[in-house]
């Protein structure tokens, strides 16, 4: 039992984290969302604030909310939060603290005859998330305004699958009034969600790799964050076992702080020489202890 | 790792954290938290595919 828990430590952590940050159970039954003051603060991962259980705010939704407000042209508060989480954790957030990342992780566990290491065109597709951030999260909310000068959260409205899964579906299930208001936009968002759900069974974390603007933001901080990986050149033989274990297909021995690395730790576990280690280490690896 | 080494090897991250704190303070002073809170405590119709 303990061994199994240890093997699936990250999944257990992700489940607990998601349960705690979405702990307003009453919301799921009553079709209501939490209205407490903690919602003035953003959680690090993609967690829709319209999820009935959400106790905090989604950083991307909040960023767009401030940008699309006619009083502001820049979102200092949320930008500061993103920079803080980025500088401390980098994409550790994606690997450990994102509910939609957890969903994709679980979907990838479903057996499928031919899993893909990456999508064709991955080399270029991985830059799509930066374009989505620039266009849907910044430019459109800031520039496309209604008659009173108010913008829209374009990413939330047209792309975000987290809002559909954690916000729309539970609310629709609990509230007939909300369900009755669903139209073409909901159909589109459901199609996006279904497409990503199916793709997640075949490819590891397609949304994080190609579409997530939050991942794009945190990826910039990966090389400088407090939590990063180091490769001991004296121990590393470039055997490639780390890359083989990496579901994001990163050459860890060459680029341990690649922008795509979500810090899942599979490479650390896979290295037979204990050459890869996080900058923040909780305990010594067995291989290191043996050497001593 | 000594404190000096820690600071030396994490200088960019420390600079970003300090800048982040300044940004958060400026945002709070401008009243951005109220905008975030107002948006977050009401069902976001766009997020759930209605609005």
Q: How many residue pairs bridge chain A and chain B with CB atoms within 8 Å of each other?
A: 165
- The predicted pLDDT at position A17 comes to 98
Q: In chain B, which stretches have pLDDT less than 70?
A: 1
Domain boundary among A187, A221, A255: A221
Note the pLDDT tens digit of each residue in A137-153. 999 999 999 999 899 99
Question: Which of B22, B40, B46 lies nearest to residue A39, judging by beta carbons?
Answer: B40
The tally of domains found in chain B comes to 1
Residues of B in contact with A225 (CB under 8 A): 13
Domain identity same for A158 and A256:
no
Å between B3 CA and nearest CA of chain A: 14
Q: Look at B32 and A77 and tell me if their CB atoms are within 8 Å.
A: yes
Q: By the CB < 8 Å criterion, does A189 face chain B? A: yes
- In this prediction, residues A98-107 reach a mean pLDDT of 98
Portion 50-109 of A in contact with B at CB < 8 A: 50, 54, 57-58, 61-62, 65-66, 69, 71-72, 75-84, 86-88
- The predicted pLDDT at position A5 comes to 75
- Which residue, A133, A172, A170, A168, is CA-closest to A154? A133
Question: Helix-strand-coil percent breakdown of chain B, rounded to 5?
Answer: 70, 0, 30
pLDDT of residue A245 exceeding 50 = yes
Å between B1 CA and nearest CA of chain A: 10
Q: Which residues make beta-bridge pairs with A231? A: A276
Question: Which of B32, B43, B47 lies nearest to residue A160, judging by beta carbons?
Answer: B47
Domain boundary among A221, A254, A270: A221
The tally of domains found in chain A comes to 2
Average pLDDT, chain A: 94
Domain identity same for A235 and A204:
no
What letters, b where the CB count within 10 A reaches 16 and e where it falls short, cover A155-194?
A: bbbbbbbbbbbbbbbbbbebbeebeeebeebbeebbebbe
| Rg from Cα positions in chain A | 20
Whether residue B49 lies inside any domain: the answer is yes
- The predicted pLDDT at position A289 comes to 45
pLDDT of residue A285 exceeding 80 = no
Domain identity same for A205 and A282:
no
Note the pLDDT tens digit of each residue in A16-67. 999 999 999 999 998 999 999 999 999 999 999 999 999 999 999 999 999 9
Domain identity same for A239 and A280:
yes
ipTM of the complex model: 0.96
Place of tokens 């989505």: A132
Banded model confidence at residue A280, pLDDT cuts 50, 70, 90 = confident
Q: Look at B47 and A34 and tell me if their CB atoms are within 8 Å.
A: no
Banded model confidence at residue A287, pLDDT cuts 50, 70, 90 = very low
- The predicted pLDDT at position A197 comes to 98
For every residue of A53-87, DSSP letters joined together read T--SB-HHHHHHHHHTSTT-SS-HHHHHHHHHHHH
Residues of A in contact with B17 (CB under 8 A): 83-84, 87-88
Whether residue B40 lies inside any domain: the answer is yes
Domain identity same for A192 and A109:
yes
Q: What is the CATH number of the domain that holds A259?
A: 3.30.70.20
- The predicted pLDDT at position B25 comes to 98
Question: Which of A40, A86, A167 lies nearest to residue B48, judging by beta carbons?
Answer: A167
Enclosing domain of residue B46:
21-51
Whether residue B29 lies inside any domain: the answer is yes
Domain identity same for A8 and A118:
yes
Residues of B in contact with A69 (CB under 8 A): 35
Enclosing domain of residue A36:
2-221
- The predicted pLDDT at position B1 comes to 67
Banded model confidence at residue A292, pLDDT cuts 50, 70, 90 = very low
pLDDT of residue A211 exceeding 70 = yes
What percent of chain A is modeled with pLDDT above 70?
96
Helix (H) or strand (E) holding A278: strand A276-278
d(CA A145, CA A148): 8
Helix (H) or strand (E) holding A51: none
Domain identity same for A42 and A156:
yes
Domain boundary among A173, A206, A221: A221
- In this prediction, residues A226-233 reach a mean pLDDT of 96
Whether residue B14 lies inside any domain: the answer is no
- The predicted pLDDT at position B2 comes to 83
Q: Look at A156 and B19 and tell me if their CB atoms are within 8 Å.
A: no
User: Where does A203-240 have alpha helices with state H?
Assistant: 206, 213-221
Structure tokens at A126: 């991985």
Q: Look at A84 and B32 and tell me if their CB atoms are within 8 Å.
A: no
Domain identity same for A21 and A67:
yes
Cα torsion B1, B7, B8, B14 to 10°: value is 140
What letters, b where the CB count within 10 A reaches 16 and e where it falls short, cover A57-79?
A: bbbbbbbbbbbbbeebebbbbbb
Note the pLDDT tens digit of each residue in A124-180. 999 999 999 999 999 999 999 999 989 999 999 999 999 999 999 999 999 998 898
Domain identity same for A87 and A187:
yes
């Amino acid at each position: 039992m303990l061994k199994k828990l240890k093997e699936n430590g990250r999944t257990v952590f992700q489940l607990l984290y998601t349960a705690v940050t979405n702990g307003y159970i009453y919301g799921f039954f009553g079709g209501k969302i939490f209205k407490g003051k903690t919602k003035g603060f953003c959680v690090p991962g993609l967690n829709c604030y319209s999820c009935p259980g959400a106790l905090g705010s989604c950083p991307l939704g909040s960023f767009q909310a401030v940008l699309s407000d006619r009083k502001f042209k820049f979102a200092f508060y949320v930008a500061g939060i993103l920079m803080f989480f980025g500088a401390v954790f980098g994409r550790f957030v994606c690997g450990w603290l994102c509910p939609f990342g957890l969903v994709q992780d679980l979907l990838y566990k479903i057996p499928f005859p031919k899993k893909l290491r990456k999508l064709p065109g991955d080399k270029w597709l991985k830059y799509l998330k930066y374009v989505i951030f620039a266009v849907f999260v910044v430019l459109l909310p800031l520039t496309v305004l209604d008659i009173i000068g108010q913008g829209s959260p374009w990413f939330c409205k047209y792309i975000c699958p987290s809002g559909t899964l954690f916000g729309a579906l539970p609310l629709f299930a609990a509230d007939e009034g909300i369900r009755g208001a669903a139209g073409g936009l909901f159909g589109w968002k459901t199609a996006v969600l279904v497409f990503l759900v199916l793709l997640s069974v075949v490819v590891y974390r397609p949304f994080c790799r190609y579409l997530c603007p939050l991942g794009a933001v945190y990826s910039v901080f990966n090389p400088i964050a407090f939590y990063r990986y180091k490769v001991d050149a004296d121990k590393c033989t470039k055997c490639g076992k780390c890359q083989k274990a990496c579901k994001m297909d990163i050459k860890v021995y060459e680029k341990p702080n690649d922008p795509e690395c979500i810090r899942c730790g599979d490479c650390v576990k896979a290295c037979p020489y204990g050459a890869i280690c996080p900058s923040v280490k909780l305990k010594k690896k067995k291989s290191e202890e043996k050497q001593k | 790792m000594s404190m000096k080494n820690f600071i030396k090897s994490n200088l960019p991250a420390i600079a970003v954290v300090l800048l982040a704190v300044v940004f958060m303070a400026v945002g709070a002073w401008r009243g951005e938290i109220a905008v975030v809170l107002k948006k977050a405590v009401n069902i976001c119709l766009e997020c759930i595919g209605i609005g």
